[in-house]
Amino acid sequence: MISDLNKIYSLTAKGMQRSAIREILKLTQQPDIISFAGGLPAPESFPVKDINEISCEILEKNGTAALQYGTTEGFVPLREELLKRYRKEGLDVSLENLIITTSSQQGLDLLGKIFVDRGDKVICGLPSYLGGLSAFRTYGAEMIGIEFDEHGMRSDKLEKQLKSMKSNGEKPKFIYIIPDFQNPAGITMPEFRRREIIDLAHKYDVLIVEDSPYRELRFDGNAQPMMYQMDSTGHVITLGTFSKILAPGFRIGWVLAAPEIADKFVVAKQATDLCTPPFLQMIAAKYMEKGLLEKNLKATIDSYRIKRDTMLEGFKKYMPKGVTWTEPEGGLFLFLFLPEHMDSEKIFQQAIDQKVAYVIGSVFHCDGSGKNTMRLNFSFPSLEQNKEGVKRLAEVIKKNLK
């Protein structure tokens, strides 16, 4: 063994940190713990029978191609199916705008690889998705958080930050946003706020990264236009994934961007994994061609709506005064706010002792704030676990209110 590995690790390796959520999930694997901690889709939403039939069909008709290497850009029929969906939303996009990635998490990592040098600044929300923060920090990014209101990232605070940076001769590499059913807060950014932020991106000439893993999982209200659609100047990069709308085990995501940016993703991806598994891409393409994605999505949305409503009803019934929460129109998560003097990390072990788990909110805040918050996932637990878990969590909170 090398005597001192730290002397030969790269700066990138030294900057890596374990995922707080993944570490928490290790504590929740006991079968008797009700976990609201993971960002897991419901297993009953997975179309096992359809996938089995399609897999056999592909292996019988085109098995050698399915088991061979593929192109870095991705399987063309799958890219075309995705483009069809985007065109229905009014986007003017072609194959040169879209590449397939091995999950949207790879897309986040490639963003850091392409755009971030050590010490560069990246703007994100307070709170924001931990996987994004981790990916950018790995490459040395300095994260700058912008406060939220009920509409998401505050445009007035964002402009103040951009103006200050410009006066100091600085510019962020990009603004990272999850506009639909935001992880962790569950907030959807309305059209007017999206427009305000896009206008600021144009004014200060800054890229926007629109991370969009949950957009299709809308239970209530009206869909808001994609930021990519609202921008006509190539300032927006959009990330998508099948993890929440088909199956996370497929590890298939995609990047939608201006051709010159998409090409840079291809080059960066070539040095990472050469290609996303062709077999899985072929299955996903055939699944979409058969119209099964829309059919299964409808059933998933109906199920998740009931689960969300069950959790919200439990909050109203059991949570003490002083505790508030977001009420998402879709997605997988909501955010719970404890009284200001409370710290969700300090009561976490008590919750585990009562066999219920959540994710502490401070890990989603790049500045370490949000100590009185927690993220809860309502998609994975059963209705019975949902009801009992909320009741247990409420009891833990009540004991710590004093």
Taking each helix axis as running N to C, give the angle between helix 383-399 and helix 292-318, from 0 to 180 degrees, rounded to the nearest 10.
Answer: 30
Q: What is the mean pLDDT of residues 310-323?
A: 98
Per DSSP bridges, beta strands 253-256 and 356-357 are unpaired
Point out the domain boundary residue: 274, 291, 308. 291
User: Same domain, yes or no, for 319 and 226?
Assistant: no
Confidence of residue 6 (pLDDT cuts 50, 70, 90): confident
User: Same domain, yes or no, for 249 and 391?
Assistant: no
Radius of gyration of the chain (CA): 21
Residue 325, SS3? strand
Please, which residues have CB within 8 angstroms of residue 236's CB and are 6 or more apart in sequence?
A: 198, 201, 207, 208, 209, 210, 227, 228, 230, 257
Q: Phi and psi dihedrals of 289, rounded to 5?
A: -60, -35
User: Same domain, yes or no, for 284 and 394?
Assistant: no
Mind listing the pLDDT tens digit for each residue in 21-33? 666 666 656 788 9
Instruction: For the chain, give the percent of residues with pLDDT over 90.
Output: 91
Taking each helix axis as running N to C, give the angle between helix 292-318 and helix 278-289, from 0 to 180 degrees, rounded to the nearest 10.
Answer: 90
Q: What is the mean pLDDT of residues 320-326?
A: 97
Q: What is the mean pLDDT of residues 275-302?
A: 97
User: Same domain, yes or no, for 341 and 285?
Assistant: no
Decide: residue 6, CB within 10 A, 0-12 exposed, 13-18 middle, 19+ buried: exposed
User: Same domain, yes or no, for 161 and 280?
Assistant: yes
- Residue 90 counted as domain residue: yes
Confidence of residue 4 (pLDDT cuts 50, 70, 90): confident
Q: Which domain holds residue 385?
A: 5-47+294-399
What's the predicted TM-score (pTM) here?
A: 0.95
User: Same domain, yes or no, for 383 and 313?
Assistant: yes
Q: For the chain, what is the mean pLDDT?
A: 95
Q: Shortest CA distance to 319 belongs to which of 234, 396, 225? A: 396
- Residue 55 counted as domain residue: no
pLDDT of 17 strictly over 80: no
User: Same domain, yes or no, for 328 and 364?
Assistant: yes
pLDDT of 12 strictly over 90: no
Q: How many CA atoms lie within 13 A of 159 on its CB side?
A: 11
Q: Shortest CA distance to 357 belongs to which of 120, 35, 118, 92? A: 35
pLDDT of 72 strictly over 70: yes
User: Same domain, yes or no, for 283 and 302?
Assistant: no
User: Same domain, yes or no, for 171 and 72?
Assistant: yes
Mind listing the pLDDT tens digit for each residue in 138-187? 999 999 999 999 999 999 999 999 999 999 999 999 999 999 999 999 99
Strand residues in 197-353 grouped as ranges (E)? 207-211, 236-241, 253-256, 324-325, 333-337
